[in-house]
Amino acid sequence: MDNIHTQSAKIKQFEKRKIFLPQNAVFVPIDFNKESIGKILKINGFDNNKPALFILEGIIMYLSKDAVYKLFKEISNITKNGSKIVFDYIHESVLRKENRHYGEKSIYKTVNLVSESWTFGFVYEKVEEFLKSQNFSLIENLKPEDLENKYFTEKNGNRISRINGTHSVAFALKNRIGRCYVGR
Protein backbone atom coordinates (compact mmCIF):
# COMPACT_ATOMS: atom_id res chain seq x y z
CA MET A 1 0.00 0.00 0.00
CA ASP A 2 1.33 3.37 -1.06
CA ASN A 3 0.08 6.54 -2.56
CA ILE A 4 -0.71 5.97 -6.22
CA HIS A 5 2.33 7.86 -7.57
CA THR A 6 4.87 6.09 -5.39
CA GLN A 7 3.23 2.74 -6.02
CA SER A 8 3.26 3.22 -9.80
CA ALA A 9 6.96 4.13 -9.72
CA LYS A 10 7.75 0.99 -7.68
CA ILE A 11 5.76 -1.26 -10.02
CA LYS A 12 7.60 0.22 -13.03
CA GLN A 13 10.91 -0.57 -11.33
CA PHE A 14 9.83 -4.18 -10.72
CA GLU A 15 8.94 -4.49 -14.41
CA LYS A 16 12.13 -2.76 -15.57
CA ARG A 17 14.26 -5.13 -13.51
CA LYS A 18 12.16 -8.14 -14.55
CA ILE A 19 11.22 -8.85 -10.94
CA PHE A 20 8.14 -11.03 -11.01
CA LEU A 21 5.85 -10.88 -8.02
CA PRO A 22 3.53 -13.65 -6.84
CA GLN A 23 0.20 -13.72 -8.63
CA ASN A 24 -1.60 -13.18 -5.34
CA ALA A 25 0.24 -9.87 -4.74
CA VAL A 26 -2.31 -7.07 -4.64
CA PHE A 27 -1.26 -3.45 -5.06
CA VAL A 28 -3.64 -1.12 -3.29
CA PRO A 29 -3.16 2.65 -3.50
CA ILE A 30 -4.04 4.63 -0.39
CA ASP A 31 -3.62 8.10 1.03
CA PHE A 32 -3.01 7.27 4.70
CA ASN A 33 -3.75 10.87 5.69
CA LYS A 34 -7.24 10.70 4.18
CA GLU A 35 -8.35 7.08 3.79
CA SER A 36 -9.08 4.23 6.17
CA ILE A 37 -6.73 1.26 5.88
CA GLY A 38 -9.45 -0.95 7.34
CA LYS A 39 -11.94 -0.02 4.63
CA ILE A 40 -9.38 -0.23 1.82
CA LEU A 41 -8.16 -3.66 2.92
CA LYS A 42 -11.70 -5.00 3.32
CA ILE A 43 -12.63 -3.86 -0.18
CA ASN A 44 -9.53 -5.62 -1.51
CA GLY A 45 -10.11 -8.99 0.16
CA PHE A 46 -7.98 -8.79 3.30
CA ASP A 47 -8.50 -11.90 5.46
CA ASN A 48 -8.63 -10.70 9.05
CA ASN A 49 -9.04 -14.27 10.35
CA LYS A 50 -5.30 -14.91 10.06
CA PRO A 51 -2.39 -13.11 11.69
CA ALA A 52 -0.85 -10.57 9.32
CA LEU A 53 2.44 -8.76 8.89
CA PHE A 54 2.40 -5.03 8.19
CA ILE A 55 5.60 -3.40 6.93
CA LEU A 56 5.35 0.38 7.14
CA GLU A 57 8.63 1.38 5.52
CA GLY A 58 9.02 5.04 4.64
CA ILE A 59 5.43 5.89 5.52
CA ILE A 60 4.74 7.28 8.96
CA MET A 61 7.19 10.18 8.79
CA TYR A 62 5.05 11.64 5.99
CA LEU A 63 1.78 11.42 7.91
CA SER A 64 0.15 13.73 10.41
CA LYS A 65 0.17 12.68 14.06
CA ASP A 66 -3.58 11.99 13.89
CA ALA A 67 -3.11 9.82 10.79
CA VAL A 68 -0.33 7.79 12.50
CA TYR A 69 -2.47 7.11 15.56
CA LYS A 70 -5.47 6.26 13.38
CA LEU A 71 -3.36 3.93 11.20
CA PHE A 72 -2.03 1.92 14.15
CA LYS A 73 -5.43 1.80 15.84
CA GLU A 74 -7.07 0.53 12.65
CA ILE A 75 -4.36 -2.09 12.13
CA SER A 76 -4.91 -3.22 15.70
CA ASN A 77 -8.68 -3.34 15.18
CA ILE A 78 -8.61 -5.35 11.94
CA THR A 79 -5.96 -7.92 12.84
CA LYS A 80 -5.85 -11.04 14.93
CA ASN A 81 -3.66 -11.31 17.97
CA GLY A 82 -0.22 -12.46 16.92
CA SER A 83 -0.13 -10.08 13.96
CA LYS A 84 3.15 -8.21 13.54
CA ILE A 85 4.13 -4.73 12.51
CA VAL A 86 7.52 -3.40 11.44
CA PHE A 87 8.07 0.29 10.80
CA ASP A 88 10.79 2.82 10.45
CA TYR A 89 10.47 6.27 11.91
CA ILE A 90 12.45 9.45 12.17
CA HIS A 91 13.44 10.92 15.48
CA GLU A 92 11.29 13.83 16.57
CA SER A 93 14.39 16.01 16.99
CA VAL A 94 14.94 15.78 13.20
CA LEU A 95 11.70 17.70 12.62
CA ARG A 96 13.11 20.48 14.79
CA LYS A 97 16.30 20.43 12.65
CA GLU A 98 18.53 20.03 15.70
CA ASN A 99 21.19 18.33 13.56
CA ARG A 100 22.05 15.77 16.27
CA HIS A 101 22.28 12.73 14.00
CA TYR A 102 24.74 11.48 11.41
CA GLY A 103 23.56 12.45 7.92
CA GLU A 104 20.75 14.67 9.14
CA LYS A 105 21.57 17.76 7.07
CA SER A 106 22.02 15.87 3.82
CA ILE A 107 18.94 13.67 4.21
CA TYR A 108 16.78 16.69 4.96
CA LYS A 109 17.97 18.36 1.75
CA THR A 110 17.15 15.21 -0.22
CA VAL A 111 13.67 14.90 1.29
CA ASN A 112 12.90 18.54 0.57
CA LEU A 113 14.05 18.18 -3.07
CA VAL A 114 11.22 15.78 -3.83
CA SER A 115 8.62 18.04 -2.20
CA GLU A 116 7.56 15.45 0.38
CA SER A 117 8.43 16.91 3.73
CA TRP A 118 8.51 14.94 6.94
CA THR A 119 5.75 15.77 9.38
CA PHE A 120 5.88 13.13 12.13
CA GLY A 121 8.55 11.62 14.33
CA PHE A 122 8.85 9.66 17.55
CA VAL A 123 10.96 10.14 20.63
CA TYR A 124 12.86 6.82 20.82
CA GLU A 125 12.02 6.29 24.49
CA LYS A 126 8.28 6.74 23.88
CA VAL A 127 7.78 4.18 21.09
CA GLU A 128 6.99 1.35 23.51
CA GLU A 129 4.38 3.45 25.33
CA PHE A 130 2.77 4.39 22.01
CA LEU A 131 2.63 0.76 20.88
CA LYS A 132 1.06 -0.34 24.17
CA SER A 133 -1.66 2.26 23.68
CA GLN A 134 -2.39 0.58 20.33
CA ASN A 135 -2.43 -3.00 21.74
CA PHE A 136 1.04 -3.94 20.50
CA SER A 137 4.05 -5.20 22.44
CA LEU A 138 7.45 -3.90 21.43
CA ILE A 139 9.84 -6.68 20.39
CA GLU A 140 12.74 -4.54 19.11
CA ASN A 141 13.43 -0.86 18.74
CA LEU A 142 16.69 -0.51 16.87
CA LYS A 143 18.60 2.77 16.87
CA PRO A 144 20.88 3.51 13.92
CA GLU A 145 23.94 2.30 15.83
CA ASP A 146 22.12 -0.97 16.65
CA LEU A 147 21.42 -1.45 12.94
CA GLU A 148 25.04 -0.68 12.06
CA ASN A 149 26.29 -3.18 14.64
CA LYS A 150 23.84 -5.85 13.53
CA TYR A 151 24.08 -5.47 9.76
CA PHE A 152 27.16 -3.42 8.88
CA THR A 153 29.86 -4.66 11.23
CA GLU A 154 32.14 -7.56 10.38
CA LYS A 155 32.97 -10.29 12.89
CA ASN A 156 36.34 -8.63 13.55
CA GLY A 157 34.52 -5.43 14.61
CA ASN A 158 35.17 -3.39 11.47
CA ARG A 159 32.17 -1.30 10.53
CA ILE A 160 31.78 -1.53 6.76
CA SER A 161 29.23 1.25 6.40
CA ARG A 162 27.30 3.91 8.24
CA ILE A 163 23.61 4.44 7.98
CA ASN A 164 21.65 7.61 8.30
CA GLY A 165 21.21 8.43 11.97
CA THR A 166 17.81 10.05 11.60
CA HIS A 167 15.84 6.78 11.52
CA SER A 168 15.15 3.88 13.82
CA VAL A 169 13.25 0.64 13.15
CA ALA A 170 10.69 -0.94 15.48
CA PHE A 171 9.12 -4.39 15.47
CA ALA A 172 6.00 -5.20 17.49
CA LEU A 173 3.46 -7.95 18.04
CA LYS A 174 -0.25 -7.51 18.59
CA ASN A 175 -0.98 -8.58 22.15
CA ARG A 176 -2.47 -11.91 23.08
CA ILE A 177 -4.38 -11.33 26.30
CA GLY A 178 -1.70 -8.97 27.58
CA ARG A 179 1.26 -11.23 26.85
CA CYS A 180 3.81 -11.13 24.09
CA TYR A 181 4.56 -14.43 22.34
CA VAL A 182 7.51 -14.11 19.99
CA GLY A 183 7.89 -16.61 17.18
CA ARG A 184 4.33 -17.87 17.02
pLDDT in tens, 45-57: 899 999 999 999 9
Alpha carbon distances (Å) from 79 to 30, 39, 74, 114, 167: 18, 13, 9, 34, 26
pLDDT at 115: 67
Do 99 and 18 share a domain, yes or no?
no
pLDDT string in tens for the chain (184-residue length): 556 777 778 888 888 999 888 888 878 888 888 999 999 999 988 999 999 999 999 899 999 999 999 999 999 999 999 999 999 999 999 999 888 899 888 887 777 777 678 999 999 999 999 999 999 999 999 999 999 999 999 999 999 999 889 999 999 999 864 444 444 3
Alpha carbon distances (Å) from 96 to 64, 91, 92, 108, 109: 15, 10, 7, 11, 14
CATH code (residue 114): 3.40.50.150
Range of the structural domain that residue 16 is part of: 1-30
Alpha carbon distances (Å) from 19 to 15, 27, 86: 6, 15, 23
pLDDT at 104: 86
φ/ψ of residue 74, rounded to 5: -65, -40
| Residue 180 belongs to a domain | no
| Residue 146 belongs to a domain | yes
Do 145 and 67 share a domain, yes or no?
yes
pLDDT at 179: 43
Do 21 and 47 share a domain, yes or no?
no
